Structure 1
Amino acid sequence: MRIALFIYSLRGGGATQRTLTLANGFAERGYAVDLVVIADESAGIALHSGVRVVVLKQGWHHLFEKLNRRINLRGLFTASAIPALMCYLRDECPDVLLSCASHINLVATLARRFSKTNMPLVLRASNYPSGNIRWWPPFEQAIRRLLRWTLGVVYPWADHIIAVSQGVAREVQRLTGLPDDRVTTIYNPVVGPYIARLAAEPVNHAWLADAHVPLILAVGRLTIQKDYPTLIRAFARVRAVRTAHLVILGEGRQRHKLEKLVHELRLDDDVALLGHIDNPFAWMSKAAVLVLSSTWEGLPGVLIEALACGCPVVSTDCPSGPREILEEGAIGPLVPVHDDKALAAAILTLLAAPRDRAKLLRRAEDFRIDAGVDAYLRVLTAQVAARGASPG
């Protein structure tokens, strides 16, 4: 069986990392794998020898690629790949197509439908579908109606939906009306031996030299979704009570805004925005607490990764994923979204009384890579079998 995995590029956040994990996991089990990408950013990516990277290139798609390098036209650039993906599906005829992220599912669905090919299509719902709508208050109701119509029309064209959390699954079903047997929840394949190896690596930073001053850590892109302003305000409250440092690992368009807020709150000596770091696990294993301040998620891998490093965690109770990962707050505190006072209180409580490290490590084992890969393969082979082809 040849499995095609469709993703925007091989560099990016959690959805990209899970796609690479799945591709390598499928190949290790003897399946032929095509990683079909829109943007060619595969240099330096570690891939199994059984994984072939296919970059979609066709005609005027090149024009959007050039424009996208100059100005942000990612949406149009993504949509422009539909004809090239159609050609790939017709020419290569993979046994199944897995679209690996919510923001490209529409492209995958339209390409499969217009190509008039017969391979099954499985969509991976990687994020909470309506999470960012309230950031557009003048158009909120119109966007909600458009989202419900788009998902209600397009998602049923797919053969099956894999949701990364129960919360995402419920929201997808609410918006699409799909029955239970068309949607399967599979937690992300995250935890493997590589985490312990990378977590053991040293970190050369002065703030880790003093064990009496706790380091609070956040990891993720500097975007509206991650709501770092609330975290920084919460840290200001923590800093008013005790000495501590805050390190944020990640890069993004909100850097200037966040640096300005740090300066306004007079936290320059205690907050560091260090940009993208190749090995965040080394930081996680040495931090006193990791904080997720997001306004929405799908299944935030950073929480799982921190647990696998034995790092205590605090999270907003955002839709969706944190409540499931942290078992209703039993593994780590959950606080309301945008509530810097509650977030600060939770951080201070955890610093004073950390959760049992062994309990954190045990919970992380529920998100093992091998279990996740096998669960995906069960869905994919079932869809191939339902179409009358051999999944072997």
Structure 2
Amino acid sequence: MKKQVFCGVFALALAVTGCGVQKKEAASDIVPENRQELTILHVDAGTEGFDSFISQAEKDLGIKIHIEKCPANADNRQAKIATLLTSGDDSVDLITVNDEMISEFKHKGFLLPLEDTVMTEETAANFLQEYLKEICMSDGHIFSVPFRMDIMAFWVNQELLDQAGLDRLSCLSDLEILQKKLQNTGKYAYGDAWEISYIYNSISEYVDFFGGDYTDWTDPKTREAAEYMKRMLDTGMISEENLIDQHDQLNEKFINGQYGCMFMYTGVLSTFQNAGVYGKDKIHMAPFPEFDEKVTNIATWQYVLNKNSDHKEAALKFLQYVSGYEASKNYGQLTKMCPARLDVIEDKNFDLDGIEMIRQYLKDYKLKARPLCADSIEAVSSMGTEFQKYVLGQKTEAEFFAGAQNCIDQYYKRASY
């Protein structure tokens, strides 16, 4: 896929010119006199290959890097980072955040802009441009450096498809065939995470599939997407258990063979590998069933620079390093996770399990940032609550559509920036 031109995003920038207490050290605790150091609150702490990546960065930069681990629970992680930033804590220099967190924090003055020091025109041109504009930017400034990319992929359990006599799921009617074959088996054609703080991932995905607009619930296509999702529950294509499932629970059930397919981010690949269920005849990524639009969600993990950092020089040096081609490639190879730089992904010499399917998604589908706002945590839970009441029959269609639009008007369309 050809790189998208950065000029528009960069011109805009010029024009406007959860965390644990214990530290996990990447190397020795002894810091030689006059050696720079910094502390990073990192979501990857403890994962395979990450210590090796940090050790290499220390060697290349001559910086002592302290790593603090974030809690796995998303709510706890969000609360801890918010407390750290709002309190003016200077004990952490760099923080890894997801789309939800950067969408909130970039508006509140906690972070230092990076377009002049790290995300320059040359560097930023190697990332998805619309994504940078919608997620990483505010008021013409770039506040984060993406380092890990996740694409919402289509995962299938090939064993269940084979049992149903299906090579692949090419259209929605194939899902119905699969469900009929799985009736009375305790298995389902489709699995999803419909817990109130996670369901917006799927709502926005299906709205895009059907050609709708997540911010306009008067749009017939938007309504059609929600109606289809409700029918999935009404007809038994999806289990009511999914209403309390977050991604971890969904992935575990998928590993156990409970579902024929699901949409889930590409980063889950290592989970399937570790469980021994990844492979072309087992669980694998596949082309999407045919929808009105060829589109899917994208998310990243990103570095941000705490404005209260006492080690800004070392932090900027590290950010310049990790945003570069070589370090991005090294990160992917060591951690076995997909880096965010497009030129690394597209490099035929860059080898990673699942990379060919990821490249196919990049080629065939439009990648869109999820609809987030300055109060994303509240917004997604509000929409999730409305949706659950709708699919459980506690609200009529008209009541849900009105409630969903009220949510959009309250969180997305007010002057909160």
Asked whether the two chains share a fold, i.e. TM above 0.5, the reply is: no
TM-score calculated relative to the size of structure 2: 0.32
Higher relative contact order (CA 8 A, sep 6+): 2
Please state which structure has a larger fraction of its residues in helix: 1
